[in-house]
Amino acid sequence: MQNAPLPAGDAVVQDLPWRWGVQGKIFLIGGLGFMFDAWDVTLNGFLIPLLSADWQLSPGQAAWVGTANLIGMAVGAFAWGGIADAVGRKRAFTLTLLIFSVFTLLGALSPDLLWFCVFRFIAGFGLGGCIPVDYALVGEFTPRKHRGRVLTAMDGWWPVGATLCGVVSAALVAAFADWRPLMLVMIVPALLVFWVRTGVPESPLFLVSKGRREEARTVIDGLIARTGATVGPWRLPDPEEAPKLAIGSLTKQVGLLWRFDWKVTLTAWSLFVTILLVYYGALTWMPSILVKAGYPESSAFLRTAGMTAIGLVGALVAAALVERLGRKWLLGIAGPLSALSLVVFALFLDAEAPLAANAMLLFFGFIVQVAIPVLYTYVSELYPTQLRGSGFGWASTASRVGAGLVPLIFGSLLWPVLGLPLTFAVTGALVVVAVVVMAVWAPETRGRELTTLEH
C-alpha cells in the first residue's frame, strides 16, 4: 500500500490553532495600519475647511486637498499589491508605513497648497498600500477555519479610525486653532506600528512561492512551536512561479490577473467599484445632503459621524456570520440592502420624516459595514498566493478611482438631474448587477485552502 504524501508546510500553517500571541499579534498590527487608512481618508474632510480659511482657497483649489491624497491612494493600492507579491508582505508593509509617516510630517510643514498636495499625494501612495498588503499578510498567517472571521473583523478598524479622527481632530482644533497638529498627531501611531511590525516574520506562503526554502522552514517551525501545536512530519512544496519586480511589471499585473481567471477578476472589480461607490458617495455627500434638508451644520456632521460609528457593529456582525452563511450569501444580501436603505432614507427625507430618515441612515451605516469587510475577505481569497496582493490591490484601485469620480458623478450629474432617491436607486442597481455576476461566475471560498482554489 502506497504511503500518503506528507502535508505541505503552507497547509500546516493554515491548520494551526489560533493564538492571540501569534496570529492575533499580526491581526492587531495589520488592523492598526488599516485604521490609519480610515483616519487619513476621513481627515480630508476636516482639512478642507481649515486650509480654505488659512490659505484663502477657492472651492476648486480646496478640492485638491482631498483629490491629491485619494489619487495617491489609488496609485498605491495597485502598485503595492504587485510590490508585495515580489518583495514580500513584511517588507512592503514596512515601507508603506514609513513613506506615509515621513510625507505626512512634510505635509504638516507645507508652506502652500502646491507643496501640500505633492506631499499628500506621496503620503497617500504609501498608505494606499496598507489595505492590500494587510489583507495578504494577515490572511496567510491566519488558520483556515478562522480566516473568514479574522479577515472580516479587520474592517472593524475602519469605523474606529474614522471615529477617532473626528474626536481627536475636534479636540486639537479647539486647543490649537490650527490644522497642522491634526497631521502631526498621526506620526506617533504610524511609527509605533512600523516599529512593532519589525517583530513579525515574513509570510511563509510568500517565502515558499519565492523558493526561499530554509527561511520558510524556519518560520513554519517557529509558528508550530509558538502555537503549541502537535504536528507530524511535513514537507516544503516546490516553489511556484511568482511575478518578478521589474520595469513595467506593475502595469503587467492587470494582464496577469485577467489571464488567471477573467470571471474572478471581473467579479472582484465589479463588487469593489459598486459597493464602495455607494459607500464613498454617502460618506462624501451626506453632510451636504443633510444641510440642504435643513439640518444645522453641527447636527449634519454629528449624524454623519453616527453613520460611520455604527459601522463597528456591522463589522462585528459580519465577523460572526461570515463563516456560517458564506461569503457569497452575505455579500448578496448586505450589498443590495445597503443601497436600498439609502433609497428609503432619501424618500423619508423628501417626505420630511426626520425620525424615519435618521433610522435609515443608521441602518445604512450598519449594513454597509456588514458588506464591506466580507467583500475584502472574499476578494483576498479568490486569488492564489502569487497574485493575492496584486489582485486585491487592483480591485482596490478600481474602487479608489470610482471614489475619485464620486463628487463629479454624484454631485454634478446625478443628484441635480435625477433627484436623491433615483440617484441612490441607480447606484443600487449597479450593486445588484455586480452581485448577479458574483453569483454566476465566482466560487464560494469559505473553508478552502488559499493555494488550491479552483475556478
Domain assignment present for residue 99? The answer is yes
Note whether 136 and 380 are within 8 A (CB). Answer: yes
Phi, psi dihedrals of residue 259, rounded to the nearest 5°: -75, -30
DSSP per position, 161-224: HHHHHHHHHHHHHHHH--SHHHHHTTHHHHHHHHHHHTTSPPPHHHHHHTT-HHHHHHHHHHHH
Helix/strand/coil for 256: helix
pTM greater than 0.85 (yes/no): no
Domain assignment present for residue 4? The answer is no
Please list the alpha-helical segments (H only) found in 8-58: 9-14, 23-55
CATH at residue 365 = 1.20.1250.20
Alpha-carbon gap, residue 333 to 13, rounded angstroms = 32
User: Which of 313, 322, 327, 331 is CA-nearest to residue 371?
Assistant: 331
Domain assignment present for residue 29? The answer is yes
CA within 13 Å, CB half, 132: 37
pLDDT at 248: 43
Domain assignment present for residue 63? The answer is yes
Domain assignment present for residue 97? The answer is yes
pLDDT at 89: 78
From first to last of its 455 residues, the chain has per-residue pLDDT tens of: 456 678 877 778 888 999 988 888 888 888 888 888 888 877 877 777 778 779 998 766 777 877 788 788 878 876 786 787 778 878 888 888 888 888 988 999 999 999 999 999 999 898 877 777 777 778 878 888 887 778 777 877 888 888 887 778 777 877 887 889 989 988 877 776 767 666 678 877 778 777 788 888 898 899 999 999 888 888 887 665 444 433 345 557 778 888 888 999 999 999 999 998 898 778 777 777 777 788 875 677 778 788 888 988 998 899 889 888 989 999 999 999 999 999 999 999 989 899 999 999 999 999 999 999 899 889 888 888 778 777 877 887 788 777 766 655 765 577 778 889 999 999 999 999 999 999 999 989 887 766 543 44
Domain assignment present for residue 64? The answer is yes
Domain assignment present for residue 356? The answer is yes
The range of the structural domain enclosing residue 324 comes to 9-452
Alpha-carbon gap, residue 170 to 180, rounded angstroms = 13
Structurally, how many domains does the chain consist of?
1
Domain assignment present for residue 3? The answer is no
Neighbours of 38 (CB within 10 A): 22
Alpha-carbon gap, residue 211 to 101, rounded angstroms = 32
